[in-house]
């Protein structure tokens, strides 16, 4: 099978960017055989040229974003994170006629609407499967798998850090502070875990999912984190056969959509009640298909890179499978 | 937004075909707005013109397959089931340059390889999300969502009838025969449930999933059904905190892939252990993304129609999102 070449420019080479480089390295041959796509990385934006990066070809590195954005690439993969720089890069990539793949939930929650509109005008696409729940193909499930159906509700455990903390309190009878320290020690929480613990990370992902699932505007939004949740409450819930989880939910109310992030008690029958540790899960309720649950790893280099590179491959496949 | 028209020819108007007609009727407006696709049904093949079909435009009905296959359609939706006639119809549709969407697992398990090859030669696509696990977007998850990753194992509860019977034995302490009679009464089992109970239905779906997930050939295959499973064994497993489920699994062995369908004991930690009644579930183990679980309704008019019509819509969207 003759393979079509797809040239990538990488913005960032940290956990996710490095994961993308390694995954492409490992899977290149299989992707060529199976999908007829030859992936090549043309340029990689980094902050520090001197930093050791095992397995990364140093000749590809640059500290100037324009070296990546203005190179002859088909797809720009944005993994720098944050909103300001990343937004400017993505806008320039789109203006240059490049497809974009991003794992940046904050960027999409902040100015996704503008970016998607700019992409449509320029005739390019933005892949963002990795921005919500890492390796779980939830974007595809909502946008493609349920394209024909009306969705009534989306609920999920969208933040692995909070879920890890809650399940450790529950299973190991730790205090909130001890569980959070354990999460940090094991790499499931940042040094500053505020965005995760206070619910903002889950809220950003929820906004992205709600934008995909519903056409109506958001009319109400509330965010409560799990900081300071009482150990006794978690244990008491467990003694009554229940679990406390940080649940993000979006559903229809009069006039539009209501978004809510909060710790809630779940019965054992709730599909989200069985999601433990750093795992994420989403339950989609739609009219014809009924209830669909997706569970998997929501973060980490491997799952996120798998979502990013799959998005890249599908950009090519889209062309090959389309109606003429 | 100006909508592109997509003309459908329907083969069959039973549970699934009728579900497709009703879903399109209900969702037409939303699909036009959201996806820019105007779905119209041009012709419907039925066996009996006189049968009452509420909500179906009688002027579209015909008893001659060629009226559908040779009409000016973009997509042929095959819901007649079986292998012989359905195969001939799908081959002719492909030869006529029509895209095909099918829910027919037996057909794909039997001659999928030939049909896909014919479709590639003719430059058309075959959508088959509905053929495995109805409303659960598992085909998309494996083919698109994990395009970049190497899959090591796919396990699932792929037959809702068997699962219903097993969970009723477990929860209601019924005998196998009584649980099967209940499944038939509630519409979760056919009058002749052999294909479901003896594991062949699950095996057909497993072959489709394995074909998507792996490039290697199947070197070993075994099928054991749940017929005559002993009530005492199910109850005893439950008393030990375990459940018996009919699990279909495909994984790598020396020289290729091993397929297996059999009733197995699962611990409470197994994601498949929580799947009850007529629900289906699939666990995909891949190298970068880790473990992904998908759960939902595997059959019925609504879920199957949602998968079929989503496939139809995506055929159009593919063109609009492709790389030029």
Q: Which of A33, A129, A149 sits opposite B27 (nearest CB)?
A: A149
**Collapsed DSSP state (helix, strand, coil) of residue A247:** strand
> What local confidence, expressed as pLDDT, does residue B234 receive?
94
Whole-number average pLDDT of chain B: 94
H-type helices in B36-145, by residue range? 65-69, 84-95, 105-122, 138-140
Residue of B5, B35, B149 to mutate, interface with A, max A Cβ within 10 Å: B149
The whole-angstrom separation of Cα B180 and Cα B203 is 20
> What local confidence, expressed as pLDDT, does residue B315 receive?
87
**pLDDT-derived band at B317, boundaries 50, 70, 90:** low
DSSP conformation letters of B169-196: HHHH---HHHHHHHHHHTTSS-SS-HHH
State both tokens at B119: 């479709």
The three-point CA angle A284-A285-A291 to 5° equals 85
**pLDDT-derived band at B297, boundaries 50, 70, 90:** very high
Would you say the C-alpha torsion B291, B296, B298, B304 has a positive or negative sign? Answer: negative
DSSP B214: -
> What local confidence, expressed as pLDDT, does residue B191 receive?
86
Contact between B145 and A125 using a beta-carbon 8 Å cutoff: no
Contact between A323 and B99 using a beta-carbon 8 Å cutoff: yes
Nearest residue of chain B to residue A135 (CA atoms)? B289
List the 120-149 stretch of B: residues with Cβ below 8 A of A. Answer: 123, 125, 129, 134-137, 140-141, 144-149
Long-range contacts of A62-69, Cβ-Cβ distance < 8 Å, separation of 24 or more:
A65/A11, A65/A89, A65/A92, A66/A92, A67/A43, A68/A9, A68/A10, A68/A11, A68/A42, A68/A43, A68/A44, A69/A9, A69/A11, A69/A93, A69/A96, A69/A98
Helix (H) or strand (E) holding B259: strand B256-267
The whole-angstrom separation of Cα A281 and Cα A141 is 13
The domain defined by B4-134+302-321 carries CATH number 3.40.50.720 = yes
Helix (H) or strand (E) holding B257: strand B256-267
Nearest residue of chain A to residue B119 (CA atoms)? A321
Strands A151-157 and A242-253: antiparallel
Q: pLDDT digits over B264-277, tens only?
A: 999 999 999 999 99
| A270 in contact with B, Cβ within 8 Å | no
Q: pLDDT digits over B143-173, tens only?
A: 999 999 999 999 999 999 999 999 999 999 9
| B27 in contact with A, Cβ within 8 Å | yes
The 10 Å CB-count burial string (b at 16+, else e) for B109-144 is: bbbbeebbebbeeeebbbbbbbbbbbbbbbbbbbbb
Whole-number average pLDDT of chain A: 94
- Walk across the sheet containing B126-127 and list its strands: B61-62, B37-45, B4-11, B75-78, B99-102, B126-127
Q: pLDDT digits over B26-61, tens only?
A: 999 999 999 999 999 999 999 999 999 999 999 999
Which residues of B participate in catalysis according to the annotation? 205
User: Are the beta carbons of A144 and A151 closer than 8 angstroms?
Assistant: no
DSSP conformation letters of A32-45: HHHH-EEEEEEEEE
**pLDDT-derived band at B3, boundaries 50, 70, 90:** confident
User: Are the beta carbons of B230 and B238 closer than 8 angstroms?
Assistant: no
On the question of pLDDT at B190 being above 50, the answer is: yes
**pLDDT-derived band at A324, boundaries 50, 70, 90:** very low
CB within 8 Å of A187: residues ≥ 6 apart = none
- Walk across the sheet containing B218-223 and list its strands: A218-223, A256-267, A242-253, A151-157, A279-286, A290-297, B290-297, B279-286, B151-157, B242-253, B256-267, B218-223
> What local confidence, expressed as pLDDT, does residue A323 receive?
32
Measured between beta carbons, the chain B residues lying within 8 angstroms of A129 are: 145
State both tokens at A261: 């992030």
Strands A99-102 and A75-78: parallel
How far does B212 lie from chain A, in Å, by closest CA?
A: 10
User: Are the beta carbons of A169 and B323 closer than 8 angstroms?
Assistant: no
Measured between beta carbons, the chain B residues lying within 8 angstroms of A318 are: 318-319, 321-323
Determine the average pLDDT of the residues in A67-92. 96
> What local confidence, expressed as pLDDT, does residue B1 receive?
52
Burial zone of B265 (CB within 10 Å; 0-12 exposed, 13-18 middle, 19+ buried): middle
User: Are the beta carbons of B265 and A271 closer than 8 angstroms?
Assistant: no
The whole-angstrom separation of Cα B312 and Cα B305 is 11
Measured between beta carbons, the chain A residues lying within 8 angstroms of B23 are: 148-149, 288
Q: pLDDT digits over B79-135, tens only?
A: 999 999 999 999 999 999 999 999 999 999 889 999 999 999 999 999 999 999 999
**CA separation (Å) from A313 to A71, A128, B149, B201?**
19, 13, 11, 32
- Walk across the sheet containing A61-62 and list its strands: A61-62, A37-45, A4-11, A75-78, A99-102, A126-127
| A19 in contact with B, Cβ within 8 Å | yes
Highest CATH level, class, for A139-297 = alpha beta
Q: Which of B287, B289, B314 sits opposite A147 (nearest CB)?
A: B314
How far does B260 lie from chain A, in Å, by closest CA?
A: 24
Nearest residue of chain B to residue A284 (CA atoms)? B296
The whole-angstrom separation of Cα B41 and Cα A19 is 46
The whole-angstrom separation of Cα A156 and Cα A205 is 10
Determine the average pLDDT of the residues in A46-72. 96
Contact between A289 and B307 using a beta-carbon 8 Å cutoff: yes
DSSP conformation letters of A175-241: -HHHHHHHHHHTTSS-SS-HHHHTSHHHHHHHHHHHHHH-SSPEEEEEE---TT--HHHHHHHHHTT
Residue of B137, B139, B272 to mutate, interface with A, max A Cβ within 10 Å: B137
On the question of pLDDT at B323 being above 60, the answer is: no
Strands A37-45 and A4-11: parallel
State both tokens at B227: 């017929």
Q: Which of B23, B320, B322 sits opposite A288 (nearest CB)?
A: B23
The whole-angstrom separation of Cα B223 and Cα B197 is 11
> What local confidence, expressed as pLDDT, does residue A1 receive?
52
| A295 in contact with B, Cβ within 8 Å | yes
Would you say the C-alpha torsion B213, B217, B218, B219 has a positive or negative sign? Answer: negative
What ipTM is given for this predicted complex?
0.94
Question: Residue ranges of the domains in chain A?
Answer: 4-134+302-321, 139-297
State both tokens at A275: 């999601």
DSSP conformation letters of A260-294: EEEEEEEETTSGGGG--TTEEEEEEEETTTEEEEE
Q: pLDDT digits over B196-249, tens only?
A: 999 999 999 999 999 999 999 999 999 999 998 999 999 999 999 999 999 999
- Other CB atoms within 10 Å distance of the CB of residue B172: 10
The count of CB pairs under 8 A between chains A and B is 211
Phi, psi of A123 (to 5 degrees): 75, 25
On the question of pLDDT at A322 being above 50, the answer is: no
Determine the average pLDDT of the residues in A259-283. 96
Where residue B254 falls (left for φ over 0; alpha for ψ -120 to 50; beta otherwise) is: beta
**Residue owning tokens 């579209």:** B60
On the question of pLDDT at A317 being above 70, the answer is: no
The whole-angstrom separation of Cα A291 and Cα A198 is 28
**pLDDT-derived band at B316, boundaries 50, 70, 90:** confident
**CA separation (Å) from A257 to A105, A245, A252, B8?**
20, 22, 5, 33
| A100 in contact with B, Cβ within 8 Å | no
């Amino acid at each position: 099978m003759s393979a079509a070449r797809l040239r990538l420019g990488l913005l960032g080479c940290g956990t996710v960017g490095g994961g993308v480089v390694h995954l492409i390295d490992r899977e290149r041959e299989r992707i060529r055989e199976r999908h007829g796509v030859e992936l090549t990385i043309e340029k990689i934006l980094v902050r520090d040229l001197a930093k050791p990066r095992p397995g990364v070809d140093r000749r590809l590195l640059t500290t100037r974003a324009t070296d990546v954005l203005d190179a002859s690439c088909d797809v720009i993969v944005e993994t720098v994170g944050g909103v300001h720089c990343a937004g400017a890069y993505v806008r320039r990539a789109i203006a240059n006629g490049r497809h974009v793949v991003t794992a940046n939930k904050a960027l999409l929650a902040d100015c996704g609407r503008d970016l998607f509109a700019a992409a449509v005008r320029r005739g390019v696409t933005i892949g963002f499967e990795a921005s919500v729940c890492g390796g779980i193909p939830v974007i595809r499930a909502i946008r493609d798998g349920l394209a024909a159906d009306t969705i009534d509700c989306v609920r999920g455990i969208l933040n692995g850090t909070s879920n890890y903390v809650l399940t450790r309190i529950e299973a190991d009878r730790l205090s909130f502070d001890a569980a959070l320290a354990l999460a940090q020690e094991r790499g499931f929480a940042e040094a500053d875990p505020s965005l995760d613990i206070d619910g903002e990370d889950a809220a950003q992902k929820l906004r992205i999912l709600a934008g995909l699932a519903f056409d109506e505007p958001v009319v109400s939004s509330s965010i409560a984190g799990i900081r300071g949740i009482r150990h006794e409450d978690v244990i008491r819930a467990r003694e009554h056969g229940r679990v406390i989880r940080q649940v993000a939910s979006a559903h229809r109310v009069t006039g539009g959509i209501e978004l809510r992030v909060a710790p809630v008690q779940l019965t054992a029958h709730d599909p989200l009640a069985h999601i433990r540790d750093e795992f994420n899960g989403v339950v989609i309720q739609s009219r014809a298909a009924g209830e669909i649950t997706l569970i998997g790893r929501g973060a980490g280099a491997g799952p996120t890179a798998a979502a990013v590179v799959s998005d890249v491959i599908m950009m090519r496949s889209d062309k090959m499978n389309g109606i003429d």
